Amino acid sequence: MDALTGLIDAQVVRGVLGARIAAGDDWGWWSAKGPGAAFHAVTSGTVWIAQQDSDPLQLVAGDVLLLPGNRAHALASDPEVLARTTPEHSDGYTLASDGTVRMGHGPAHTHILCAHYTHDPTGSASFLSALPDTVLLRGQGDGGGLAETVRLVGRELTSPRPGSQVVLARLVDVLLVQALRDWLEHDETGLASPLHALRDPVVSTAMSLIDAEPGRAWTTAELAGAAGVSRATLARRFPAVVGETPAAYLTRRRLDLSARRLRDTDETLEQIAQNIGYTSVYAFSRAFRRARGIPPGRFRTTSRTVATSPNQ
C-alpha cells in the first residue's frame, strides 16, 4: 500500500457525485457552504467561479477546481452574471430525465461535473485540510492522467449511456487522486503534513508501513531500517515533513481506527484494544481519553447516536 492510498483509505475519503450541469448563456448558480471539499471539472465551454471574499476565476474546458473548505461560492456564465449571483439571487434550472441540470438560455455549450468529497468524521483530521482554500489545475496542454479523465467525464456528460451515473461516480474518486498528484508535483509551500510527506520517499515508506499494519508495535528503528536510512535520519525527517513523530502518527492511526470500530462494530473494548496494538484495555482507554476527551465507551454511545440522528 502506497502512502496516498493509505491516507485515503485511513480517512475513508469518498467522492459524492453532485450536479451534472449543461448550460447555455446568461446563468448563475449559488452554492452554499457544505461538508467536505467541493469539486468542479469543466469538460466544455467556460465557467466563472468565485468564493465569498475571493477574486473570480475563469475555468475553461479541461480545468479542475478543488475547494477543500467548500466555502460558499457562485458559478456563472460570465463576470457580469457572477457579480449578481448571491444567496438571494440564483437563477432557476430544469432537471432533465437523465438527471442533468440545465441552465441558461440557448443551446448548452458548457458542461460541468460538480461533486464533493467527504471523510469519515471519526477521524482526527482530514488530509484535505492541508490544502489551500483553492486548488486550480489547468487542463490545457496537460497530457497526463488528469486531462484524460476529464475527457472521459466529458463524454459521459455530453453523451450519457446506460450506467453513466455509475461511471461518473467512479471517475469522481479517480479525479481526486489525480488532482492530488498534480498538485503535489507543483506545490512549493513545503508545509508539514501527511499529504506533503508523499513527496519524501523515506517518510512515505514509513507512513505506508504504519498504515498497512497499525496494530504492529513499530519502533522508529524498524521503520528506518525498512526505509533504508538510519534511525536518527528518520527521527529527524519524519516530524519535519509530517508534523509529528512516527510514534505520534502511529498512535493517531490506531485511535482513528478504534473510533470507527467503536461506532461500526460490536467488538468489545478488549478486542479493539488487542487488534490495534494495545496490551491492555486500560492502556487503550487512557490513550483514547487523552486524545478524544471522553472514554471509548461513551464515544461509542455518542457516535452511534449522531450516526442515526434523522437530522444528519
pLDDT surpasses 60 at 143? no
Kindly indicate the confidence band of residue 45, based on its pLDDT and cuts at 50, 70 and 90: very high
pLDDT in tens, 58-83: 999 999 999 988 889 999 999 999 99
pLDDT of 120: 85
3-state secondary structure the chain: CCHHHHHHHHCCCEEEEEEEEEEEECCEEEECCCCCEEEEEEEECEEEEEECCCCCEEEECCCEEEECCCCCEEEECCHHHHHHCECCECCCCEECCCCCEEECEEEEEEEEEEEEEECCCCCCCCHHHHCCCCEEECCCCCCCHHHHHHHHHHHHHHCCCCCHHHHHHHHHHHHHHHHHHHHHHHCCCCCCCCCHHHHCHHHHHHHHHHHHCCCCCCCHHHHHHHHCCCHHHHHHHHHHHHCCCHHHHHHHHHHHHHHHHHHHCCCCHHHHHHHCCCCCHHHHHHHHHHHHCCCHHHHHHHHHHHHCCCCC
pLDDT in tens, 204-262: 999 999 999 999 999 999 999 999 999 999 999 999 999 999 999 999 999 999 999 99
pLDDT of 111: 95
Question: Which of 71, 73, 100, 62 minimizes the C-alpha distance to 178?
Answer: 62
pLDDT of 270: 96
Contact (Cβ atoms closer than 8 angstroms) between residue 40 and residue 59: yes
pLDDT of 180: 85
Is pTM beyond 0.85 here?
no
Domains and CATH numbers, the chain: 14-186 (2.60.120), 200-307 (1.10.10.60)
Who has greater pLDDT, 108 or 129? 108
pLDDT of 312: 47
Least confident of 125-129, 253-257, 278-282: 125-129
pLDDT surpasses 90 at 30? yes
- Tell me, rounded to whole angstroms, the distance of Cα 110 from its chain centroid: 25
Who has greater pLDDT, 238 or 161? 238
Who has greater pLDDT, 24 or 132? 24
Kindly indicate the confidence band of residue 4, based on its pLDDT and cuts at 50, 70 and 90: confident
pLDDT of 50: 94
Name the average pLDDT for the chain. Answer: 89
pLDDT surpasses 80 at 130? no
Kindly indicate the confidence band of residue 86, based on its pLDDT and cuts at 50, 70 and 90: very high
Mean pLDDT value of segment 183-210: 85
pLDDT surpasses 60 at 187? yes
At 17, list the grid cell: 457525485
pLDDT of 310: 47
